[in-house]
Amino acid sequence: MNKQAAQQFNIGIVGLGTVGGGTLEVLTRNKQLIEQRVGQPVVVTNVATRTLRPEQVAGVPVSGTDPFAVANDPNVDLLVETIGGFDPAFEVVRQALANGKHVVTANKALIAERGNELFALAEQHGVCLAYESSVAGGIPIIKTLRDGLAANRIDWLAGIINGTGNYILTEMSAYGRLFADVLKEAQELGYAEADPTFDVEGIDAAHKLTILASIAFGIPLQFDKTYTEGISYVTPEDISYANDLGYVIKHLGIARRTPKGVEMRVHPTLLAKSQLLANVNGVDNAILVHGDAVGSTLYSGPGAGAMATASSVVADIIDLARQQAAGVGKPVYPSLGYTQMETELRVLDIEDVESEYYLRIPVQDKVGVMARIATVLETHNINIEAVIQKESESDEVPIVILTQRAIERELNKALEEISEHAAVCGEIIRMRVEPFHGGGN
């Protein structure tokens, strides 16, 4: 790091796309305000980008297209990584940390999948890797979990943490539209990528949930153990049945501490209409957190976009600039908020999770089918809470069942047995239902 820290805090930015460009704009537009809050000049001294727009970097030194030139610049105190992906982002961040520079990143995939390694490197070199902007855009949920709720034992958290998925389900719910039609519109509006897999199949949300769970429970980052399910199978029919039962369907990331271990799962979820998260619509994000002291608190706002994400990037920059201005050499907090991680706390397999369930079972309209299904469920200790079976003009009719709490392993056994019944004439749809009552289970 620059030894002239008391005089000026120097920033290098690699990547000037949506987030990087927004970060530079905020740093420039709010320069006086930022420096009043820090107590010393905060200056962008080096930028590397593949998509240079002269008007965007007026007066800012540019190192061309090589991000390693910024990572190796001895005058840079902090590197902002907004390249995205793993290559070359991982090596650039690793090089900057090894050179004794703080790093701020918006790269949730990098943190979720390689964060353990990078945090250890940052600690080894006495610098900080900050990542507020990696989860939920402009919502300061990382600082809230790590600092604002530090006195609490976090029992659970649940979030709408992908704006694309929330937009799609909102439109399907409001207008009865098909998934494919709304996805196409989301792409045209710029809410979804040309390849929407990360968003609609839950991978983006799983990266974010991995980070949130690690901070909430003090466990190492374990993306590979986060159960992930997308929304592409959700139909207007399911949304309509859920509505009849008093629920809406949201794509949630859920992390919960239980006596058996930690649940980490992303999937479509039925929520009662009265739930706070049930009323977060469009592209907004929201995270509901339950702490043993404070109870349930909700954090909502824009989860993406240039300015919203840049707001969180610059907030991290200000934190580290203040630290340097105060003459604090070593980072004042561990990256994940814990000096000792809970390495013995296991992540549960989805089959060990206990939940309520929504089932839609397509059957031939014959006498005794419902009774047979009820018997199979009862055999596996699964009690029925509610049933919808509407009349149909055809020989096929869906039976919709809401169950009480059951172990997923037992439900899977029951559904396998039910699917073998001669009257079942299509794929059984299963979604989880979450009441979010009080503390941990």
In 259-343, beta strands by DSSP E: 261-272, 284-291, 295-302
Judge whether 366 counts as a catalytic residue: no
Q: Which amino acid is at 103?
A: V
**Is 240 in contact with 200 (CB distance < 8 Å)?**
no
- Distance between CA atoms of residues 173 and 181, nearest Å: 13
* The two three-digit tokens of residue 222, written as one number: 């374990």
Q: Is 116 helix (H, G, I), strand (E, B) or coil?
A: helix
* The two three-digit tokens of residue 430, written as one number: 């299963």
**Is 330 in contact with 126 (CB distance < 8 Å)?**
yes
* The two three-digit tokens of residue 189, written as one number: 């509006």
Give the pairing type, strands 261-272 and 295-302.
unpaired
Q: Which of 101, 143, 208, 250 is flagged as catalytic?
A: 208
Query: Chain centroid to CA 162: how far?
Result: 6
- Distance between CA atoms of residues 199 and 35, nearest Å: 37
Q: Which amino acid is at 320?
A: L
Phi/psi at 160 (5° precision): -90, 100
The H or E element containing residue 31 is helix 31-38
- Distance between CA atoms of residues 29 and 31, nearest Å: 6
- Distance between CA atoms of residues 286 and 136, nearest Å: 8
In 52-172, beta strands by DSSP E: 78-81, 102-105, 129-130, 154-160
The closest alpha carbon to 143, from 341, 302, 340, 289, belongs to 289
The closest alpha carbon to 262, from 296, 215, 208, 217, belongs to 217
**Is 398 in contact with 370 (CB distance < 8 Å)?**
no
The residues assigned a catalytic role are: 208
